[in-house]
Structure 1
């Protein structure tokens, strides 16, 4: 019989509800508390977790006598740092926190120091690591089929930012900027695959198509919708990001490419199935990994299908489930945390440095072992 872990959720908007659906697939996981001040989001989350206690604030939950074994932070970005610091100070509970961990360098310093003293597992939600095609892509690189990988490129061509409660994701001050909010996932993948720390970042960005006619209390959104980013690593390897958020007509949303002296390896990941027009185009595309050796020439394609149950549970190709399964095992079996606070912070620092590079037009140096920039 699986050990029961009772979860409390901080936030149950669109992504919070995805977490609830995926936790429901794990034997032994039970959502018992939800902090959600928005009535509509609260009603939707209770439909997924009937009987869960609900609260309007973190303080209200902490003062209650409800028994909680682990916490999941799925609130807007700008709330993460303060909530983490509060939980580090007042609890000893395991925590899974959605990306980005923080939205500023000042917050990064405080969270890094406080996290080092927390006695329980702290896991940063970097879903892209756990997508089955990306996991296969990483496995192929580790097998040595490419030789010593030299170049890595990540392309995400996707839909614009979705509408969120109170439109919090329309402004850099609340998200950290698009290259933090959206792209810390990709900077995490770069560090993971390249197996080195970044030393330099250069970015060129634009706000060219999305949200240009929107206004909130007289204020125009300032989030970018496209970018090129180049990252140099300490081991001499290089990576690039090509982001476009007005290209949702593509068959694949993410395309990842690694090149070594022996071969090229590609990974193709479709976007959320609920956005695919099955009525006109048929079934959604299947993820795939393609290896193209130099000798003998010729691509070898592998389909990497994702379990239909997992696809129905969220928009991230099953990765939210695998991530939660790892977190559950870290709590119940003492397994290691795959994505540490330091991993999460370094991914954010790269995003912040890229935002600063775009603002200033200069390359930004990464210092302090990836935890700051100048």
Structure 2
């Protein structure tokens, strides 16, 4: 057991908050002592805890850490109040509804010497963690391209942001993390097909500082639910399915192609395919452990507020690009 038990408060117990409640109750070194949601307890997760009216009431019971799982437009107000109260906080992604709001959050936590984190949960997916380790080990050689597909039906609970900030933030964050390189430029295209005020389709192409080409296809319009990351490189291609946690590798073949019609092509051939076996822990559990460790001053790979703000900056640039029709370039090693 941990030497110190952290008193945790949870703000928001909707579709995502209910999972945070479950994991917090199972987490060593953390005790869930308070829940706040003006909408009550629709999923019946409060147990013997009173559902408090607002973030101030949550702060008043005395908490060390907080999880903000409210709709995005409420992130800034809650985070700033928690920072002022000296509470370490994990904010569900995206960090805020705008870059300006995200910047104010980053500044507040920095000024108060607090740990702040953003819930970019895909980093803690077992398939992507395996993928990053194998790329670091040189299993792919030089990385050429990273392409992601994230599509599925519209979640009616999302009303305050479009698919760019709600979903494409996942892909921007995981891509920079897997490649260990920030975005150099992006170009975006969007469409609104469903009559809602925000975009429900976004396509982003870009390049990272290390030269890797990236592509992201994201929508809320498909009955086919996909969560796929494909990394192509010198030795083949990795495919990570974050919905299932599976990772496969298709190696470049070494068998000569004998068909006369294609022998002039100086490309790769199809080789062996491997599906890796590895432990598949729940990403939300791993994410909470990382946040807890960061608060306790232990080594941690938590997603920092600065990283969450950088991701939001890239997505806003892609949305701006879709409006102007022009690509957006960033200063190298974007410092925020």
- In the alignment, does 2:239 pair up with 1:288? no
Structure 1 stretches of 4+ with a deviation exceeding 4 A read none
- In the alignment, does 2:232 pair up with 1:259? yes
CA-CA distance at 1:157 after TM superposition: 2.3
Match of 1:85 in 2: 80
Question: Is this contact kept in 2: 1:31–1:52, CA < 8 A?
Answer: no
Deviations 1:60-118 (A, max 9, x none): 333x3x23121111111011122222222x22222111111122132233223223223
Normalized per residue, the structure richer in helix is 1
Match of 1:103 in 2: 97
CA-CA distance at 1:295 after TM superposition: 4.1
Change (3 A) 1:11 1:248: same
- In the alignment, does 2:191 pair up with 1:206? yes
Q: Unaligned 5+ residue runs, structure 1?
A: 213-220, 271-285, 308-317
SS at structure 1 position matched to 2:28 = coil
Question: Is this contact kept in 2: 1:287–1:303, CA < 8 A?
Answer: no
Match of 1:70 in 2: 65
Match of 1:282 in 2: none
CA distance in 2, matches of 1:12, 1:368: 39
SS at structure 2 position matched to 1:75 = coil
Match of 1:30 in 2: 31
Question: Is this contact kept in 2: 1:122–1:341, CA < 8 A?
Answer: yes
CA distance in 2, matches of 1:268, 1:25: 26
Match of 1:222 in 2: 197
SS at structure 1 position matched to 2:329 = strand
Deviations 1:273-301 (A, max 9, x none): xxxxxxxxxxxxx5421112224422112
Normalized per residue, the structure richer in strand is 2
Equivalences, count = 319
Match of 1:298 in 2: 272
CA distance in 1, matches of 2:297, 2:99: 34
Match of 1:275 in 2: none
Question: Pick from 127, 132, 142: which aligns with 2:136?
Answer: 142
Q: Normalising to structure 2: TM-score of the pair?
A: 0.87
- In the alignment, does 2:54 pair up with 1:57? yes
SS at structure 2 position matched to 1:248 = strand
- In the alignment, does 2:336 pair up with 1:362? no
Match of 2:283 in 1: 319
CA distance in 1, matches of 2:107, 2:296: 26
Question: Is this contact kept in 2: 1:32–1:51, CA < 8 A?
Answer: no
Q: Normalising to structure 1: TM-score of the pair?
A: 0.79
* Superposed CA RMSD: 2.1
Match of 2:209 in 1: 234
Q: Unaligned 5+ residue runs, structure 2?
A: 255-270
Question: Is this contact kept in 2: 1:122–1:337, CA < 8 A?
Answer: no
